A and B are shown apart, each in its own frame.
Chain A
Amino acid sequence: MTSTNPDLLVFSPKGIYCPPADVYIDPWKPVSRALITHAHSDHARSGHGEYVCTPLTAAVLKHRLGKKIRISELPFGQKLNVDGVQFSFHPAGHIPGSAQVRVAYRGEIWVVTGDYKLEPDPISEPFESVRCHTLITESTFGLPVYQWARSESVIAEIHQWWRDCQDEGRLAVLAAYSLGKAQRLLSELDPGQGPLFTHETIEPVNALFRAAGLALPSTTTVNASHQQTDLKGALLIAPPAVLNSDWLQRMGPVSDAMASGWMALRGTRRQRTSERGFALSDHADWPGLLNAVRESGAQRVLVTHGFAAPFARYLREIGLDARDVETRFQGEPQPEDTTNTVDQINPV
C-alpha cells in the first residue's frame, strides 16, 4: 500500500500526534485527549484531560492513576470518529487489553503498534494483523539474536526449577512485572505443583483481570504475617524490585529467578544477581517483528523504542521506506534498570 499523506501522525515533543483530530497516542507529556495502547507506565502517563482505551486497560488505568481520571472506553474493533479521522483498537497480544491503534483519514491508514507479541498466550487477546500504509512499530528485541523458544518449553523449564526448589526446601521466587507478565505466568503455570503466592503489588491487577473474566488460578497474597512454613513448596511471583529486599531474606532460603526476554543472552543472565533467568517475553522477537511488518503490507515503517536504528536499516535494505524515531517508550525495561537501589528498599 502506498502512502498519500505523509503527516497523518507526527512525532511532536509531547508524543505521537494526529493534527487533523488533535489527538495524541501514548503521549509522554500531559495533553487534552490521549489514546492509550496499554496501561504500562511508559505508555500511559498521568495528567491527560481524557483517556481513550479498551475497557480492560481502562480498569487498570483507574487502579493505577486514580478513579477521578476521565476515561472513554473503546472496545476492540469499534470506531471512534474525531473530525473525520477514524480511530480503532486492534489486539496487540502484549498483555490483556493491549491494543494497536489504527488511524484512517481520507483513505490513508496508519497503525501504531504500541508493544506487541505474535505468539498467543492464554489470557491476552491474540495479535491481529492490520493492513496499513504506514506502520509505527516498536523494536524492543529488534536484533536477530533474539528468537524466542516456544513458551511451553520455557514454562517447562520454570516448572523444573520450581520442582528443584521444592526438593531443596527453598522458596521459588520468580520476578515478573506486576502488570501483564505476572498474570501471564499465573495463567500458564500448573497450580497442581504447589501453592502460588503473589506479592501485594500484583494482586490488585489479578482481581481486575478475574473480574474481566480471565482465567487465573487462585493465589494467596503474601503479607508480613506469613511465616516461612506457610510458603513451603510455594512459588512466589514478585516484582523485580523485591529480589534484593531484606523482606525476602526473612522468608528463609530462596532461589530467585527472573522471567524476561533479556534473559535470552548468557551475558545478561550472568550480570543479574538472580540465580536463574527464563527467556519469556511479552514482546515480539526478530522473526515476529519482521512478520508483523510484512503482514501489515506497509510501505513506510517508523521504528520506535528498542534496537530502532539497526531494525530500520535492515528494513531499508529489504526494500521498505523505514526510519527510526526517538520516543520515550521503554518496552521491556533492561534488567539493570530494575535492580534495587539504596532508596528503594521495599518491604511489604
Chain B
Amino acid sequence: MRQFHELVRQLEQHPDGDGRVKALIRYFHSASDQDTIWAIALLSGKRPKRVVSINQLSSWAIEITGFPLWLFKESHRQVGDLAETVARLLPHPKSREDISLAEWLRLISCWGAAAFEEQQESIGLAWDQLDADERYLLNKLVSGGFRLRVKPVDLIQALEVVSGVPQYVLAIRLAEKWHPQTMTLKWLTEPETPEEARVKPMPFHPIQTLNSDLSSLGNPEDWWIEEQWEGIPVQLIRQDKRVYLWTTDHQLVTPLFPETEEACSELPKETVLEGILVVLQHDKPGPLDQIQSRMDCQHVTRRIIHDKPVCFIVKDCLVWKGKNIRNVPFSQRIQHVQSICSSIDSHFIRCSLLKEPGPDWTSIEDHLAAARERHGVGLELKQRNGNHGGESIADVWWKKRVDPLLMEMVVLYVEWGGRKSTGPGYELTLGLWDVDAFVPVMKKAIGMTAEDMDRIKDHVKEHTLERFGPVRQVVPNLVYTIIFEGVNVSLRHKSGITLKNPRIHECKEAMDVADLLPLSVLKKRFTQGI
C-alpha cells in the first residue's frame, strides 16, 4: 500500500501526461504482478464495490477517538474530505505493516460479505496498521470513493515501456471484459498474436498546414478540396465479426461509440477506413468540445447518443476486402469510400464531401473565407493521384485554416503567476461591455511580449482598484486586440461564451474604451449553433 500511495501522490502531483507516465513506469517496475494489475484496474475506473458508507466509517472513527461530533465536523470543514478527515483524526498506528495493494483488495472483498460487527472490527484493525496517507486510500477503496483515473493512453504507454508489448496490443487486451482477480500480468504482456496483428492500426495519412498561398500547390485541376471539420481522427478496422476504432495515439475507442460500431457492422470484412468522428448538431458537424466530451464519457447511455450523436465522416479507404490499396491513386480510393457509404443506410456514417476547385484558385479563396458560415474551420486539399502514407507534396493532405478573428477587449484583472505552463508572467482577464458593466470574456497569458509585460507592470502600479490575493482589479482603460478562431457557447461562464484558442495580439494604446464593441456584437457575429 505504501508503494501505491506513493504512486497516487505522484499522479496527483503531475496533472500532465509525461509526469504521470514516468510515475506509472516507476510503479510498474517495482510493484508485484498482482499489484500492477490492481493498479491498472483502479486507475482505469474498475473500483471495488462499496463495503461500507463513508458516513459509517466516520461514526466508527468518532467511536474510536471519543471526540465529540462537533469537533469531527469542525475538522471536516478544515480538511474538506471525509475519508481524509477520518484518516487523520485517528491516532498514529501502533504497528505499521506493509501489506500489498492486492492483499488489501482481497481483504476488502472479504469484508463485503462479512457481518456488520466483523466489518467494524476488521476496519478498526486495518486502521491501526496504516499511517494517515495509507488510511486515506483504504477509506476511499472501502467506501467506493476512489476516483483517481489515468488516461488509458498514459497507462498503455507506461505498460509498453515496462513490458515491451506494443501499445495497440495492450489496448486490445485491456478493452476486453476483465476482472483484476482473474486477469494476470503474464496474459496481458504476452507477445502479440497473429489475430491481433491483423487489426493493428496503420500509419495515419499525414496532414500538414499550408502556410503559403493556395497557388503554391500548382494546377488547381490536380486537386480536390474538402470541408475541414473539427473532429477526432480515427481509423476503422473491420475484421472478422468485429469493428475496431483507433485514434492516432493508439487508443481503442470502439466502446465509446456504439452507434459507429453498429453502423459499420455491415461493412465488408477486412476493410480499413480513415476519417474523423464529429458530433452532429442540427445534422451539421459540431464544435470540437462536443466530440471531446463524448470521448470523456465513462458509460455511453442512450440519452448521450440521442443528445450528442456521433458521425464517422469517411475520408479514405486503405484496405478494401482484404486488399491493401494504399498505393492506388486517391481518385480511385475515394470511389470505394463513396460506394461503401452509399451502401450503408445510417446517419452515423457519411462520405466526406469533395469539390472540384475549378480552373483557378480565386474561387477557392472565397470559398475558404466563407468556411465559418458553413460551420467549418477551413479546407483540406488532396491530390487526385496521391498515395496513402507517402511524403511528397502530392501524397500529403494539406489543410488551410480560415483566417482568425480579431476583437478589441479591455483589461479588467491582472494576476501574477501561471508558472507551471507558461513560465512566470502576467495573466490578463479581458472583457467587453455588456448592458451596464464590463464582463470578463477570457483569461490568458499567451502572446505577450516583454514590452507588454512592462506595460502591464506600470498599468498595475498606476491603476489598481482592488486586490484579491494575487489578483489586481485595474481601471478598465487598457485595450488589447485578441486573436481567436471561434466562439463556443458556455453556460458556465459569466459572458455565456468561450473563445477558441485565444491569444493576445497587440496593444491598442490609442483606442478609447468607449469605442469597444459590446459583447452582444461578438455573440451575434461569431457564435455557432445558437
By beta carbon, the residue of chain B nearest A277 is B13
Partner of A249, one of B423, B457, B472: B423
Partner of B13, one of A244, A276, A307, A313: A276
Asked if A144 and B75 make an inter-chain contact with CB atoms under 8 angstroms apart, the answer reads yes
Asked if A41 is at the interface (CB within 8 A of a chain B CB), the reply is no
Residues in A neighbouring B80, C-beta threshold 8 A: 265, 267
By beta carbon, the residue of chain A nearest B426 is A342
Asked if B68 and A317 make an inter-chain contact with CB atoms under 8 angstroms apart, the answer reads yes
Asked if A310 is at the interface (CB within 8 A of a chain B CB), the reply is yes
Partner of A342, one of B65, B67, B84, B460: B460
Partner of A145, one of B70, B78, B417, B460: B78
Asked if A343 is at the interface (CB within 8 A of a chain B CB), the reply is yes
Alpha-carbon distance between A171 and B13 when the two chains are bound, in angstroms: 17
Asked if A144 and B89 make an inter-chain contact with CB atoms under 8 angstroms apart, the answer reads yes
Residues in A neighbouring B132, C-beta threshold 8 A: 147
B42-76 near A? 1/0 per residue, CB < 8 Å: 00000000000000000000000101101100110
Residues in B neighbouring A345, C-beta threshold 8 A: 416
Binds B, one of A31-39, A291-299, A333-341: A333-341
Asked if A249 and B424 make an inter-chain contact with CB atoms under 8 angstroms apart, the answer reads yes
Most chain A beta-carbon neighbours within 10 Å: one of B67, B74, B75: B74
A186-225 near B? 1/0 per residue, CB < 8 Å: 0000000000000000000000000000000000000000
Asked if B92 is at the interface (CB within 8 A of a chain A CB), the reply is yes
Residues in A neighbouring B467, C-beta threshold 8 A: 341
Asked if B417 and A273 make an inter-chain contact with CB atoms under 8 angstroms apart, the answer reads yes
Asked if B88 is at the interface (CB within 8 A of a chain A CB), the reply is yes
Alpha-carbon distance between A340 and B79 when the two chains are bound, in angstroms: 24
Asked if B102 is at the interface (CB within 8 A of a chain A CB), the reply is no
A145-B420 contact given A342-B472, A343-B460, CB 8 Å threshold: no
Asked if B469 and A273 make an inter-chain contact with CB atoms under 8 angstroms apart, the answer reads no
Asked if B71 and A273 make an inter-chain contact with CB atoms under 8 angstroms apart, the answer reads no
Asked if B424 and A343 make an inter-chain contact with CB atoms under 8 angstroms apart, the answer reads no
Asked if B469 and A275 make an inter-chain contact with CB atoms under 8 angstroms apart, the answer reads no
Asked if B348 is at the interface (CB within 8 A of a chain A CB), the reply is no
Asked if B88 and A264 make an inter-chain contact with CB atoms under 8 angstroms apart, the answer reads yes
Partner of A266, one of B75, B89, B136, B424: B136
* Cβ of A289 to closest chain B Cβ, rounded Å: 13
* Interface size, chain A (Cβ < 8 Å): 31
The total number of A-B Cβ pairs within 8 Å is 86
Asked if A149 is at the interface (CB within 8 A of a chain B CB), the reply is yes
B130-153 near A? 1/0 per residue, CB < 8 Å: 011000100000000000000000
Alpha-carbon distance between A210 and B71 when the two chains are bound, in angstroms: 43
Taking CB atoms and an 8 Å cut-off, the chain A residues in 145-183 that contact chain B are: 145-147, 149
Asked if A266 and B84 make an inter-chain contact with CB atoms under 8 angstroms apart, the answer reads yes
Alpha-carbon distance between A114 and B454 when the two chains are bound, in angstroms: 44
B165-179 near A? 1/0 per residue, CB < 8 Å: 000000000000000
Residues in A neighbouring B420, C-beta threshold 8 A: 273
Residues in A neighbouring B391, C-beta threshold 8 A: none
Asked if B359 is at the interface (CB within 8 A of a chain A CB), the reply is no
Alpha-carbon distance between A245 and B416 when the two chains are bound, in angstroms: 10
Residues in A neighbouring B88, C-beta threshold 8 A: 144-147, 264-265
A340-B417 contact given A266-B136, A275-B13, CB 8 Å threshold: yes
Asked if A143 is at the interface (CB within 8 A of a chain B CB), the reply is yes
Alpha-carbon distance between A138 and B471 when the two chains are bound, in angstroms: 31
Residues in B neighbouring A265, C-beta threshold 8 A: 78-80, 84, 88
Most chain A beta-carbon neighbours within 10 Å: one of B67, B70, B419: B419
Alpha-carbon distance between A149 and B88 when the two chains are bound, in angstroms: 11
Residues in B neighbouring A264, C-beta threshold 8 A: 88
Show 30 A/B contacts (Cβ-Cβ < 8 Å), sorted by A: A143-B74, A143-B75, A144-B88, A144-B89, A145-B75, A145-B88, A146-B88, A147-B88, A147-B132, A149-B131, A244-B424, A249-B424, A265-B78, A265-B80, A266-B12, A267-B80, A267-B81, A267-B84, A270-B12, A276-B13, A313-B70, A314-B71, A336-B469, A341-B467, A341-B469, A342-B415, A342-B426, A342-B457, A342-B472, A343-B461
Residues of B at the A interface (CB closer than 8 Å) are 12-13, 65, 67-68, 70-71, 74-75, 78-81, 84-85, 88-89, 91-92, 131-132, 136, 414-417, 419-420, 423-424, 426, 457, 460-461, 467, 469-470, 472
> Other CB < 8 Å A-B pairs besides A267-B81, A339-B470, 4 of them?
A143-B75, A144-B65, A144-B75, A273-B417
Closest A-B pairs by Cβ, 8 of them:
A145-B88, A342-B416, A246-B424, A145-B75, A310-B74, A341-B470, A267-B80, A143-B75
